């Protein structure tokens, strides 16, 4: 359950920066609200920054020992689409801190991962390696770019994102045809501009690939997400509050 709460809590003028704040509430069945997520997107010229903070609530906060999550993506824009150059994932719990840093070299199509672990503020592990896959997206830009990448309904898109090493970055996004959208509205509501289903390989799903249902609002950002078939716990939801 712990890793699923984390996974859930995970689930833009040349002179002046444009700032967009998107907030979400994560709920998990009988456990109620398990976390709040604040995403701050800043655009200045041809560059962007996404700063995401996860605050655990209720039972999740107790079970995970007050764990703190922070994610940051920095990069540039190509035809309005965010392209990640640098992605950092930081987890802090009591006396332990873990940072995963990804440096994306687009010229050489190479991603370098730097892993660092501290215990009681003392660095106990530091490794650096080149991953065996390349991607322009990270886990943050994957979702915030979706409305700019998805162009047609009734199509499956094969995408890649840095931060998903266990599946070599691969993410399949299925966009239903207008006739197929009815099944999505049951979980996601009627007001979305369009719907999609992301397939993620995780051992906690009841089947080999789990379904993350997504609804996208008129402004191009995700309005609601429902994670289906989590072993023993049912579904989880991510709902936009701002």
54 token code pair:
């996860």
As a whole number of angstroms, the distance between CA 192 and CA 196 comes to 10
The 3-state DSSP class for residue 42 equals strand
The 3-state DSSP class for residue 134 equals coil
Per-residue pLDDT of the chain (242 residues; tens, 9 = 90+): 555 555 555 553 333 467 788 999 988 777 777 888 899 999 999 999 999 998 888 766 766 667 888 999 999 999 989 999 999 999 998 889 999 999 999 999 999 999 999 999 999 999 999 999 999 999 999 989 988 888 788 999 999 999 988 888 988 899 999 889 988 998 898 888 899 988 765 544 444 445 788 998 888 888 898 876 565 566 788 889 98
Neighbours of 187 (CB within 10 A): 16
**Phi, psi (5° rounding) for residue 209?**
-115, 130
* Cβ neighbours for 210, distance < 8 A, ≥ 6 positions apart: 199, 200, 201, 202, 204, 227, 228, 229, 230
Neighbours of 126 (CB within 10 A): 11
What does pTM read for this prediction? Answer: 0.83
List beta partners, residue 31.
Answer: none
């Amino acid at each position: 359950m712990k890793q699923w709460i984390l996974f859930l809590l995970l689930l833009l003028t040349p002179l002046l920066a444009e700032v967009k704040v998107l907030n979400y509430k994560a709920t998990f069945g009988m456990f109620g609200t398990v976390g709040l997520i604040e995403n701050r997107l800043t655009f200045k010229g041809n560059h962007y920054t996404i700063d995401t903070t996860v605050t655990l609530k209720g039972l999740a906060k107790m079970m995970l020992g007050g764990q703190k999550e922070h994610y940051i993506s920095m990069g540039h824009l190509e035809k309005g689409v965010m392209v990640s150059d640098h992605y950092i994932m930081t987890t802090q719990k009591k006396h332990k801190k873990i940072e995963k840093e990804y440096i994306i070299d687009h010229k050489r199509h190479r991603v370098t991962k730097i892993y660092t672990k501290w215990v009681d503020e003392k660095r106990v592990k530091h490794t650096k390696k080149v991953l065996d896959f390349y991607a322009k997206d990270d886990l943050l830009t994957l979702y915030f770019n979706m409305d700019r990448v998805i162009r047609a309904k009734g199509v499956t898109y094969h995408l890649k994102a840095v931060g998903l090493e266990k599946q070599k970055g691969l993410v399949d996004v299925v966009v239903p045809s207008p006739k197929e959208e009815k099944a999505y509205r049951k979980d996601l509501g009627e007001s979305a501009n369009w719907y999609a289903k992301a397939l993620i390989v995780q051992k906690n799903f009841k089947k080999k690939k789990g379904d993350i249902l997504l609804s996208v609002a008129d402004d191009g950002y995700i309005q609601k997400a429902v994670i289906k078939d989590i072993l023993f716990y049912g579904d989880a939801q991510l709902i936009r509050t701002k």
